[in-house]
């Protein structure tokens, strides 16, 4: 099973930017970014399919977040601009599983998960 590891979290003020990285231990077909804040369910933020580079975003982050990849480094990124306090959460990357255009946002569709990285946005 492929191992995933996130990095790049931190604290920023509203309107600021952060870039999260997710390193995979092997080749992966699809990677998703998720987030979870206290008392809330884990939600899908963005996903990228490695083949054609198809991307998907949650409505709440469209136009602000961008998911990308560097296949040579087996690393996937989540560029987050225009951060809002409601973006505060632990962010996870995940890979593989039963993922397609209809299931990309479902945590249950993914098989391999990182340990998460905290993002805190202050107002």
Question: Is residue 107 very low, low, confident or very high in pLDDT (cuts 50, 70, 90)?
Answer: very high
For 101-112, b where at least 16 C-beta lie within 10 A, e where not — what string? Answer: eebbbbbebbeb
- Give tens-digit pLDDT for 30-50: 999 999 999 999 999 999 998
- Give tens-digit pLDDT for 16-29: 999 999 999 999 99
> What whole-number distance in Å separates Cα of residue 104 and Cα of residue 31?
9
- Give tens-digit pLDDT for 46-97: 999 988 899 999 999 999 999 999 988 899 999 999 999 999 999 999 998 8
For residue 51, the model assigns a pLDDT of: 82
């Amino acid at each position: 099973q492929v191992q995933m590891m996130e990095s790049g979290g931190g604290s920023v003020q509203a309107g600021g930017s952060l870039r999260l990285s997710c390193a995979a231990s092997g080749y992966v077909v699809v990677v998703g970014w998720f987030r979870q804040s206290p008392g809330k369910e884990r939600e899908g933020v963005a996903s990228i399919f490695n083949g054609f580079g198809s991307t998907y975003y949650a409505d709440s982050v469209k136009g602000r977040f961008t998911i990308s990849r560097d296949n040579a480094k087996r690393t996937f990124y989540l560029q987050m601009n225009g951060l809002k306090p409601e973006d505060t959460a632990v962010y996870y990357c995940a890979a593989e599983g039963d993922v397609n255009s209809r299931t990309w946002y479902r945590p249950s569709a993914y098989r391999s998960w990182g340990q998460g990285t905290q993002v805190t946005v202050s107002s």
